[in-house]
Chain A
Amino acid sequence: GALVYQYPRRTICKSGTSMRMECQAVGFQATSVAWYRQSPQKTFELIALSTVNSAIKYEQNFTQEKFPISHPNLSFSSMTVLNAYLEDRGLYLCGARERGAYEQYFGPGTRLTVL
């Protein structure tokens, strides 16, 4: 079956430092990968959508300078939170989908705590 793994599951970083998180798709080709943030008391905010061989599209309020994303192949993507501050706390979810498929599969998320 189709599975999505995310590493690490939980992480703590000091304010002003950076943190990299990874997303791995197994059992299908992750043609597109969407990164979301679920902040305390909020729903899922789309950060950016990455499609292999296309430019990464960032949503309003999110930038490549703050959340650089790499999507080098059909099974892996990573995102870094640069210069993290308190407002960056939350659960970061990776949702991957295969071209032409209906369903987007989610990983369990990386929970970021900023001290």
Chain B
Amino acid sequence: GDSVTQTEGLVTLTEGLPVMLNCTYQSTYSPFLFWYVQHLNEAPKLLLKSFTDNKRPEHQGFHATLHKSSSSFHLQKSSAQLSDSALYYCALRPGGSNAKLTFGKGTKLSVKS
């Protein structure tokens, strides 16, 4: 079946340092990959989604590139901000299917000054 593996637990960074949260996946079909961000007591919000034509999606300074050869969709940002502290979930949806998303276990990012 489908699965998503991401950097587990807590990642603590100092403001201004680069961010990289790993995400690898297994799927029978060519999936779409997503990163969701969830701030405390809020709904998960879509941060990034993969494209089929190898474009690199970017949003709020974050970017991720889908590498089919390594089955990865790592989340990166050049300079962390305090407001980036949140839970980050990598998720996949198999190509051609309905709305079923498979989530990773989540990575808690804590950015300190």
- Taking a contact as CB atoms under 8 Å apart, the answer to whether B43 and A32 are in contact is no
Which one of A4, A46, A93, A108 lies within 8 Å of B100 (CB-CB)?
A46
Number of interface residues of A (CB under 8 A): 20
Chain B residues near A43 (CB, 8 Å)?
Answer: 89, 103-106
Chain A's nearest CB lies how many Å from the CB of B86?
14
Question: With a CB–CB cut-off of 8 A, which chain B residues contact A107?
Answer: 43
- Interface readout for A33-55 with B: 1 if CB under 8 Å, 0 if not? 01000000011101001010000
A contact face: mostly helix, strand, loop, or mixed? strand
B44 CB to closest chain A CB (Å) equals 5
B contact residues vs A (CB 8 Å cutoff): 32, 36, 41-46, 49, 89, 98-106
Between B46, B100, B104, the greatest number of chain A beta carbons within 10 A of the residue's beta carbon is seen for B100
A4 touches B99 (CB 8 A): no
In the A-B complex, the 9 residue pairs with the closest CB atoms: A44-B103, A106-B43, A108-B43, A97-B99, A32-B99, A43-B105, A106-B44, A43-B103, A103-B46
Does any Cβ of B come within 8 Å of A90's Cβ? Answer: no
Known contacts being A43-B89, A49-B98, is A106 close to B45, with CB within 8 Å? yes
CA distance A32 to B99 in the complex (A): 7
* A51 in contact with B49 (CB, 8 Å): no
Query: Which listed residue (B43, B49, B104) contacts A103, Cβ 8 A?
Result: B49
Chain A: minimal CB distance from B65 (Å): 18
Question: Chain B contacts of A105 at CB under 8 A?
Answer: 46
Q: Are B89 and A95 in contact (CB under 8 A)?
A: no
20 residue pairs A–B, Cβ–Cβ below 8 Å: A32-B98, A32-B99, A34-B100, A34-B101, A42-B105, A43-B105, A44-B101, A46-B100, A51-B98, A93-B44, A95-B99, A95-B101, A102-B49, A103-B46, A104-B46, A104-B99, A106-B36, A106-B45, A107-B43, A108-B41
| Residues on the A chain within 8 Å of B102, using CB | 46
Are A44 and B89 also in contact (CB < 8 A) when A93-B44, A102-B32 are?
Answer: yes
